[in-house]
Structure 1
Amino acid sequence: MIDENYHALLKAAAESHDQLIARPAGLNARAAKALLAKLCQTALVVEVVVIADEPHWHSDERGPIGLRLTTAGRESLGLDAGPDRVETKPRSGTKQALIVAMLQREEGATLTDLMAATGWLAHSTRAALTGLRKRGMILTKGCDAEGRTAYRLTDDATVEVR
């Protein structure tokens, strides 16, 4: 059973298109840190790297960090396991389908890899990644063996960001 104080935060995230929990306005840094720790302990949310215009709780070396509602979080609210929106998959043989396939690999793909595969410039490639996020796909950011930033698509929001 989830605490009544967290119910409103989780419900608002479940109703949002990105499943992100917005940090309550007026919450000081110390209280936000305590709430963040408590929410993460419940396994109802997970920390994810977000883009600058998405709700975030803090920033670290990975960039802005937000809290995304997990499948367990949705189920604790009595909702189905997935968001209400329908994810559309790119048509096969397109550059978007190529990007999705590269991001689903275990090692993921670096921005340079994606640019080389599509022939796109960096800003276009980043825009494609943002588009995938907006379509409800869960994109995580980590490092590859050489320390370069690698992006990966995951099936579940409970996968931790490295």
Structure 2
Amino acid sequence: MIDEIHHALLKAAAKSHDQLITRPAGLNTRAAKALFANLRKTKLAVEVVVTEDELHWHQDQRGPIGLRLTTAGRESIGLDAGPDSAGTKPRTGTKQALIIAMLRRDDGATVADLMAATGWLAHSTRAALTGLRKRGMILTKGCDAEGRTVYRLTDDATTEAR
């Protein structure tokens, strides 16, 4: 059972396009760390690397770190499994389906990989990644062996950023 604070935070995140949980205003650092850890431990939220302009709780060597609502978090407040359960999967054979397939590979994909596969320019490719996030898909950002930024998409919201 979740308490009223958790419920309010999860409900607000479920209503947002990016499913990110807002750090409560006025919460001291110690209390914020405890809440962050509790939401992760209970698998109601997952730690993800976000952009500077997205909601985040703290920063580490990977960059700004946010908390994204998981399927378990949505279910704990009585909602369906997530945005994809509403039939928002792309049609097969489309460029969007190709991007999703590339992002789901174990090694993910760079913007350059996605540009080469779709024939899109960088700004269009990045807009497609933003669109996936807005649809509630879990997009993580990491680095490959050469230091290039690699994006990965997972079905399971409990997968941590790599």
Structure-1-length-normalised TM-score:
0.84
Do the aligned residues in 2 keep the contact of 1:87 with 1:135 (CA within 8 Å)?
A: no
Structure-2-length-normalised TM-score:
0.84
Residue of structure 2 in register with 1:63 after alignment = 63
Q: Secondary structure at the match of 1:142?
A: strand
Q: Quick one: distance in 2 between partners of 1:135 and 1:73?
A: 16
1:97 is aligned with what amino acid? A
Residue of structure 2 in register with 1:13 after alignment = 13
* More off after superposition, 27-36 vs 121-130: 27-36
Q: Secondary structure at the match of 1:21?
A: coil
Unaligned runs of 5+ in 2: none
Unaligned runs of 5+ in 1: none
The RMSD of aligned alpha carbons is 2.3
Q: Tell me whether 1:38 sits opposite 2:38 in the alignment.
A: yes
* More off after superposition, 78-87 vs 103-112: 78-87
Q: Quick one: distance in 2 between partners of 1:100 and 1:133?
A: 12
1:93 and 1:54, CA in 2 relative to 1: closer, same or farther beyond 3 A?
A: same
For residues 23-65 of structure 1, the C-alpha deviation after alignment (integer angstroms, 9 at most, x for no partner) is 1122233332222122222211111122333321122232221
Q: Quick one: distance in 1 between partners of 2:61 and 2:115?
A: 24
Residue of structure 2 in register with 1:120 after alignment = 120
Q: Tell me whether 1:129 sits opposite 2:129 in the alignment.
A: yes
Q: Secondary structure at the match of 1:123?
A: helix
Do the aligned residues in 1 keep the contact of 2:115 with 2:121 (CA within 8 Å)?
A: yes
Identity %: 81
1:134 and 1:87, CA in 2 relative to 1: closer, same or farther beyond 3 A?
A: farther
2:135 is aligned with what amino acid? R
Q: Tell me whether 1:99 sits opposite 2:96 in the alignment.
A: no
**Once the 2 structures are TM-superposed, how far is the Cα of residue 117 of structure 1 from its aligned partner?**
1.9
* More off after superposition, 19-28 vs 90-99: 90-99
Q: Quick one: distance in 1 between partners of 2:95 and 2:142?
A: 23
1:89 and 1:76, CA in 2 relative to 1: closer, same or farther beyond 3 A?
A: closer
Do the aligned residues in 2 keep the contact of 1:46 with 1:68 (CA within 8 Å)?
A: yes
2:65 is aligned with what amino acid? I
Q: Quick one: distance in 1 between partners of 2:78 and 2:157?
A: 17
Q: Quick one: distance in 2 between partners of 1:81 and 1:152?
A: 20
Task: Give the count of matched residue pairs.
Answer: 162
Q: Quick one: distance in 1 between partners of 2:21 and 2:77?
A: 14
> Which aligned segments of 4 or more residues in structure 1 are displaced greater than 6 angstroms?
none
Q: Secondary structure at the match of 1:107?
A: coil
Q: Secondary structure at the match of 1:20?
A: coil
